[in-house]
Amino acid sequence: MRFLTLYLRSRRVPLALVVAAGGTALMWGIWQLASDDRDANSTVVILTVLIAAACFAHTLNGPDDELERTAAVRWPRRRATHLILALGVTVALVLATLATGARFGPPLFVLRDAAGVLGLIALGAALVGPARSWFLPLIWTLGVAIFPQPSPLPAVVATWQHQPPGSRPAAITAAVLALAGLIAFTAYGPARRAAATQA
Amino acid sequence: MSRILRIELRRSFGIATIVMVVVVGAIMLYAAPQRWSSSWMELMMVQREYLVLLWPLAISAGAYQARREHRSKVDELFASTARPRFQRVVPTLGAVGISVVAGYLLMIAVAAPWIWDTARYLPAAAFAVAAVGVLSVIAAAWLGMAVGRLLPSPVTAPLLGVGALAYLAFLPFALEEWLGALISPMADMGSFHDFQTISGRVSAGQAVFLAGLAVAAVVLLAAGSPRARLTALLPALLGLGLGVVVMPHGDDYVYPATDRVAQELVCAPDLPRVCVSRVHEGLLPEVVPKARQALALLAKVPGAPTAAEEKTVTYFEKDAPRPTHGPEIVTIPITVDREGHLAWPGLVVPRMLDAAGADGLGCEHGGAPDEVARAAGSWLSGVEPVAEPEESPETNQEAIALWNDLRKLPEREALARVTALREAVVTCKQTITLGPVKAP
């Protein structure tokens, strides 16, 4: 229990949870006010998933990575658990709206986007460090939200975040990104960098 | 000072910012080159439209940069130095500003070779549009730094990016059009035709507003106390107020606005007269031989047109006069393809021969049916009718059938029918066919 408390605190998870919940609530409130439609538009859902997921980017390392690496702790399984729980929390936060008057769904869509975006963040954390890991998923997802493409296949793969939940190429792309991020971050952990680039 | 700036450029997030802006910009530009291939003005406007991503990128990069001291835990150490804050932030402001501007300008450099040999017309308004774009990325990056310093949290930068997108792309819809165009540097930059422009007053209003934002960001960064930070409101509000004054309001705000100079005709030096609009001047060498070929083929029709011109009137000009081409001038159809050259070059001559060079543009119920017009044109050229892109196949089959009927007729009879068809279009007749000519 003590380890868990210290771990969560060193990762600033409370901040991430508060901001992710606040951001989701804000988007939910905006949709509630701005639209009569119960089901939120997919662009709004994409942006909400992005906000919630991006809040967890900085939780992928602590104040001193080098010190932690010297500890006799099995980090890989903790890193994997951390990522999977972050995915669970992100999906749960967004899907909690399904019980309300403004529904952000469908569940498969949210799960796919959250997994893909968190995979990209984890991949970025392993390659350039958690502090900068959100740049690529942020710009990619914002671009897709503004310029969605229904066809052809390369465009579908490039805009996987916006495809309907049944789209197989989009699901495969998201799964590949999620697995790549999970494996890379689990195996290597946050990128080794000067203290100046830590979150 | 310049040494510090150089070090700052290398040590800061500068290089990464340049690379991100250029890569994201180039991907957007080359994903759809047909959106900007026809002119420099169009390129500058499309680039402004792509601020929808570059602005969030710049603001996030600024916010990320501003957290550096906090990340390195040197906030208190630096605060204890005996130098004014302003002096300390200037090199960082400079480095971040230089990187986003370099990224924005490099984006133009990446696109320029694509249209270098076809785009000629470069109005002053195009420079103004680009300059406002440059100012807007500076304002975005500095604003990002200011917010990043006020809220030094790791989630500030990504959330600011999402917020910036909402501000740019969604907020203008909630406002009046002119006000939306004032506050969002990417609003109303869509391209509807090749003669578009942004008026100087609109660019000036946007520039004043963005300059106010940039100054407010500098004040926020330089301010040490909460009260000093409040003074940042002054330049921001001043910029907004002046911008509102300068910007055309209500009906005076026109979108899409038309550039009369771009519409002016530029003619080939020798006869017969062949003219295109100034904005398409670079296409003249491609157009002239085709237009003259069409004019030569038309010559056998009595009363045939003797000159060819591009039609420069667009349907977006509310009070513009209707096209006043007389029957002595045939319209050159000009569309620009994604490479910046004449689109469908093989269709230019057939289209000019349609209905023997007559279009019903001045009439209320414009012109001959496609298949009839095309059959007449094919009879003049002796070449089988060619289908238009994205047209139902029946139209061209009917045209071929009509053309075959015409070819079976004696030369004089066929010419009489084609001439009658042209007359009918020119005089705005309601029903236009290739039927036998009744004796008057």
pTM: 0.91
**Taking all residues of chain A, what is their mean pLDDT, rounded to a whole number?**
92
| Residue segments in chain B with a per-residue pLDDT below the cut of 70 | 1, 317-325, 364-366, 438-440
Is the residue at A134 inside a domain? yes
Is the residue at A7 inside a domain? yes
Distance CA B147, CA B60 (A): 10
| Nearest CB partner across the interface for A131, out of B71, B161, B169 | B71
Residues A68-123 have pLDDT tens digits of 888 888 999 999 999 999 999 999 999 999 998 889 989 999 999 999 999 999 99
Nearest Cα residue in chain B from A51: B159
Interface of A with B (CB under 8 A): 12, 15-16, 19, 23, 47, 50-51, 54-55, 57-58, 131-132, 134-135, 138-139, 142-143, 145-147, 195-199
Q: Which two tokens stand for residue B16?
A: 């990464």
Centre a 10 Å sphere on the Cβ of residue A136 and count the other Cβ atoms it contains: 17
Query: In this complex, do A23 and B64 lie within 8 Å of one another by their Cβ atoms?
Result: no
Task: Say what the pLDDT of residue B162 is.
Answer: 95
Distance CA B248, CA B252 (A): 5
Distance CA B127, CA B233 (A): 30
Q: How many domains does chain A have?
A: 1
Is the residue at A199 inside a domain? no
Query: In this complex, do B71 and A197 lie within 8 Å of one another by their Cβ atoms?
Result: yes
**What is the arithmetic mean of pLDDT over A124-153?**
93
Query: In this complex, do A142 and B72 lie within 8 Å of one another by their Cβ atoms?
Result: no
Q: Which of B342, B301, B160 is nearest to A142 (CA)?
A: B160
Task: Say what the pLDDT of residue B318 is.
Answer: 61
Task: Say what the pLDDT of residue A198 is.
Answer: 46
Which residue range(s) make up the domain with A170?
A: 2-192
Running DSSP on this structure, what letter comes out for residue A39?
Answer: B
Diameter of chain B measured on Cα atoms: 103
Is the residue at A198 inside a domain? no
Is the residue at A14 inside a domain? yes
Q: Is the pLDDT of residue A193 over 70?
A: no
Nearest Cα residue in chain B from A50: B162
Task: Say what the pLDDT of residue A63 is.
Answer: 86
Distance CA B356, CA B377 (A): 6
| Nearest CB partner across the interface for A139, out of B16, B24, B31 | B24
The strand pair at B257-258 and B329-332 is best described as: unpaired
Give φ, ψ of B123 to 5 degrees: -75, 160
| Nearest CB partner across the interface for A142, out of B31, B155, B161 | B161
Interface of B with A (CB under 8 A): 16, 20, 24, 28, 31, 52-53, 56-57, 60, 64, 68, 71-72, 153-155, 157-159, 161-162, 165-166, 169
Centre a 10 Å sphere on the Cβ of residue A7 and count the other Cβ atoms it contains: 16
Task: Say what the pLDDT of residue B366 is.
Answer: 67
Query: In this complex, do A143 and B28 lie within 8 Å of one another by their Cβ atoms?
Result: yes
Is the residue at A197 inside a domain? no
Query: In this complex, do A146 and B53 lie within 8 Å of one another by their Cβ atoms?
Result: yes
**What is the arithmetic mean of pLDDT over A124-130?**
93
Task: Say what the pLDDT of residue B88 is.
Answer: 84
Distance CA B387, CA B394 (A): 9
**Taking all residues of chain B, what is their mean pLDDT, rounded to a whole number?**
88
Distance CA B432, CA B376 (A): 12
> What is the ipTM score, two decimals?
0.92
Is the residue at A186 inside a domain? yes
Nearest Cα residue in chain B from A54: B158
pLDDT grade for A183, boundaries at 50, 70 and 90: very high
b/e B33-62 (16+ beta carbons within 10 angstroms → b): bebbbbbbbbbbbbbbbbbbbbbbbbbbbb
Q: Which of B41, B190, B200, B14 is nearest to B111 (CA)?
A: B41
Q: CB–CB of A161/A116 below 8 Å? A: yes
Nearest Cα residue in chain A from B70: A196
Distance CA B213, CA B19 (A): 25
Running DSSP on this structure, what letter comes out for residue A103?
Answer: B
Residues A12-47 have pLDDT tens digits of 999 999 999 999 999 999 999 988 888 999 999 999
Is the residue at A92 inside a domain? yes
3-state SS string for chain B = CHHHHHHHHHHCCHHHHHHHHHHHHHHHHHHCHHHCCCCHHHHHHHHHHCHHHHHHHHHHHHHHHHCHHHHCCCHHHHHCCCCCHHHHHHHHHHHHHHHHHHHHHHHHHHHHHHHCCCCCCCCHHHHHHHHHHHHHHHHHHHHHHHHHHHCCCCCHHHHHHHHHHHHHHHHHHHCCHHHHHHHCCCCCCCCCCCCEECCHHHHHHHHHHHHHHHHHHHHHHHCCCHHHHHCCHHHHHHHHHHHHHHCCCHHHCCCCEECHHHHCEEECCCCCCEEEEHHHHHHHHHHHHHHHHHHHHHCCCCCCCCEEEECCCCCCCCCCCCCCCCCCEEEECCCECCCCCECCHHHHHHHHHHHHHCCCCCCCCCCCCHHHHHHHHHHHHCCCCCCCCCCCHHHHHHHHHHHHHHHHCCHHHHHHHHHHHHHHHHCCCCCCCCCCCCCC
Residues B318-352 have pLDDT tens digits of 655 555 567 788 889 898 999 889 988 888 888 88
